[in-house]
Amino acid sequence: MNVLLTRPLLQVEELQSMVTKSGNKPLLFPTLKLNSIDAKVENNYYDVIIFISVNAVEYGLKILKTISYHKIFAVGSATARKLSENDIEIDDFPRKKASSEALLALDSVAQLYHKTILIFRGQSGREVLKQGLIKQNNQVEYVEVYERVNHNINSLHRQSLDELLSRNEGVISITSIDSMKLLVKISSQILDVDRLKNYLLVVLSDRIKTYVNSIGFNKVLVTPNTSNNGIISVLTNLNTLDKPVKYS
C-alpha cells in the first residue's frame, strides 16, 4: 500500500524506514522545511526545562549545554527518547499521549509553583502550555530554536502524487494541521484536490481530525499515540483487515 508522508525531509527518515519494513511503500511529500534559529536565553539557570518536540531537542541542545537547571520534562515519549539518546536525564513526560494538555495533567507538572521555566520550541505555536503554567504562578519563557518554512513545489511532489493516484487504495499521513494546509496548497497546483478525498488520512490527534473533517476530508483514522509506532500500528491493522474500515 502506498503511504504519502508529509513530514520535512530531515525529519522523515525513521518513519520512511518503518513504513518500508511494515510492507508498505513510502511516498515523500514534504510540506515544510525546518531552519535553525540563532536563539539566546535571558538567564543561565532555570528551575525547569521543557522540550515541546523532537525538533526542539534537535535544535536546542547547543543552548541547553550553556545553562543549568533542576528538572527537565518532555511533551511525549518521542521527545523523551530523543533526550535520552543524547544522555539527558528526563524527570517526567506523558506516557500515553504527547500534548501540552497531557503534560499539564501530570502530577509532577501540576505541582510546579513559583518556578522559573524555560520552554524549548519552534517559532510560534500553541500557548496552552505556557498559559497553564502561568496559572500556577510560574515565570515562563520561550526559547524558539527553529522555524517552519513552507516547502516549494518540486518534481518530488508531482511524482509522489502520481504514484499515489495510480492506485485506488492508499494512505496519507498527516502529523500537524500546518502539514494538512500545505498538502492542500501544494496539491492544488498539480491536480483537483477533491481527488485526494478518496484516500484515507491517518492523523496524530483528534484536533487534527477535527480540522481535516472541516475541510471535507472524511476518511480519517486517529493513531493510538503520537509516535511513529502509532502510525505503523494503524497501517498494520489496515493491511490485516478483511472487512471495510469504519471511519469516525
Residue with cell 494512505: 171
In 77-129, DSSP assigns E strands to 116-122
* pLDDT higher than threshold 80 for residue 61: yes
Instruction: Give the mean model confidence (pLDDT) for residues 53-68.
Output: 93
Q: Pick the residue with more confidence: 225 or 150?
A: 150
* Predicted local distance difference test score (pLDDT) of residue 184: 96
* Predicted local distance difference test score (pLDDT) of residue 243: 45
Q: Cα dihedral sign for 101, 129, 74, 98?
A: positive
Mean pLDDT, rounded, of the chain: 91
Residues paired with 74 in a beta bridge:
51
114: left (phi over 0), alpha (psi -120 to 50) or beta: left
Q: How far is the C-alpha of 68 from the C-alpha of 201, rounded, in Å?
A: 42
Does domain 2-31+151-240 fall under CATH 3.40.50.10090? My reply is yes
Q: How far is the C-alpha of 2 from the C-alpha of 63, rounded, in Å?
A: 39
Instruction: Give the mean model confidence (pLDDT) for residues 226-239.
Output: 88
Instruction: Give the mean model confidence (pLDDT) for residues 36-60.
Output: 93
Q: Give tens-digit pLDDT for 17-38.
A: 999 999 999 999 999 988 999 9
Instruction: Give the mean model confidence (pLDDT) for residues 169-182.
Output: 93
Instruction: Give the mean model confidence (pLDDT) for residues 47-70.
Output: 94
Quickly state the pLDDT bin for 49 (edges 50, 70, 90).
very high
Q: Pick the residue with more confidence: 163 or 168?
A: 163
CA distance to 13, 134, 164, 231, 248, per residue, from 157 (Å): 17, 42, 11, 21, 29
Annotated domain spans of the chain: 2-31+151-240, 34-148
Q: Give tens-digit pLDDT for 93-115.
A: 998 777 889 999 999 999 999 99
* pLDDT higher than threshold 60 for residue 246: no
Closest CA to 170 of 30, 24, 12: 24
* CATH level 3 topology of 34-148: Rossmann fold (3.40.50)
* Predicted local distance difference test score (pLDDT) of residue 244: 44
* Predicted local distance difference test score (pLDDT) of residue 240: 79
- Helix H or strand E segment including 72: strand 68-74
Q: Give tens-digit pLDDT for 113-136.
A: 999 999 999 987 788 999 999 999
- Return the half-sphere exposure (C-beta side, CA atoms, 13 A cut-off) of residue 21: 11
Instruction: Give the mean model confidence (pLDDT) for residues 168-197.
Output: 94
Cβ 142 vs Cβ 119: under 8 Å: yes
Name which of 167-181, 201-215, 233-247 the model is least confident about. 233-247
* Predicted local distance difference test score (pLDDT) of residue 96: 78
Closest CA to 41 of 148, 140, 172: 140
Mention every residue, 6+ apart, whose C-beta is less than 8 A from residue 152: none
* pLDDT higher than threshold 80 for residue 215: yes
Same fold, 2-31+151-240 and 34-148: yes
The residue length of the chain stands at 248
* pLDDT higher than threshold 60 for residue 245: no
User: DSSP labels for 209-236?
Assistant: HHHHHHTT---EEE-SSSSHHHHHHHHH
Quickly state the pLDDT bin for 241 (edges 50, 70, 90).
low
